[in-house]
Amino acid sequence: MTQTDLIFTAILSLLPISELRGAIPYALAKKADPLFAYIYCVGFNMLVAPLFYFFIATFHRLFTRFSWYNIIFEKLVVKTRNKVKSNIEKFGYIGIMLFVAVPLPVTGAYTGTMGAWVLGLGKRKTMLAVSAGVAIAGIIVSLVAFFGVETFSFLTKKVSV
């Protein structure tokens, strides 16, 4: 991989649209070692949680000065927290980890971090849950990118008894 490929791979890992689903296949297409591609992409994608959490928290503090923001925040966020309170108590950080671990559109580190923040979950445990989810998603994406979708064909085979 060239230096340009490494930079582009890091950017793909950090972008909300692509994250690991774009970065790992790109790195493998550029002939990166699969273990290196996993560690490199997952490492950069794990940076999303602390950076995005800081971004959300900072803008929240800035915008609380405006009454319109407080009204919107109260209607959307507080209502959401109250509505899903039982699920939060039931699944909590494990739920965030599993949500991030599923490598589908809108289930990555950004959405997991935003969800945890909206739900009022703690910062440190959120970082750990999102990072664990990213690591699991990285394994899944790496397997599919390296071996193809046939990797998970055992899930669709009928078992004869």
CA distance 146 to 35: 11
Q: What DSSP string describes 104-131?
A: STT-SHHHHHHHHHHTT--HHHHHHHHH
Is residue 145 in a domain?
A: yes
Is residue 21 in a domain?
A: yes
Is residue 161 in a domain?
A: no
Residue count of the chain: 161
| 100 closest CA partner among 91, 108, 110, 89 | 108
- Give the range among 75-79, 129-133, 157-161 with minimum mean pLDDT: 157-161
The region, left, alpha or beta by phi > 0 then psi within -120 to 50, assigned to residue 31 is: left
pTM for this entry: 0.84
Q: Number of structural domains, the chain?
A: 1
Q: Tell me how far apart the terminal alpha carbons of the chain are, to the nearest angstrom.
A: 49
Q: Residue 66 has which token pair?
A: 């405006």
CA distance 47 to 114: 14
Is residue 88 in a domain?
A: yes
Is residue 160 in a domain?
A: no
Domain limits for position 145: 3-155
For residue range 14-66, what is the model confidence (pLDDT) as tens digits? 999 899 999 999 999 999 999 999 999 999 999 999 999 999 989 999 999 99
Position 89 pLDDT exceeds 90: no
The confidence score (pLDDT) of residue 43 equals 97
Helices (H), the chain: 3-14, 19-29, 34-46, 48-63, 67-73, 79-83, 85-101, 109-118, 123-147
For residue range 106-151, what is the model confidence (pLDDT) as tens digits? 889 999 999 898 888 899 999 999 999 999 999 999 999 888 867 6
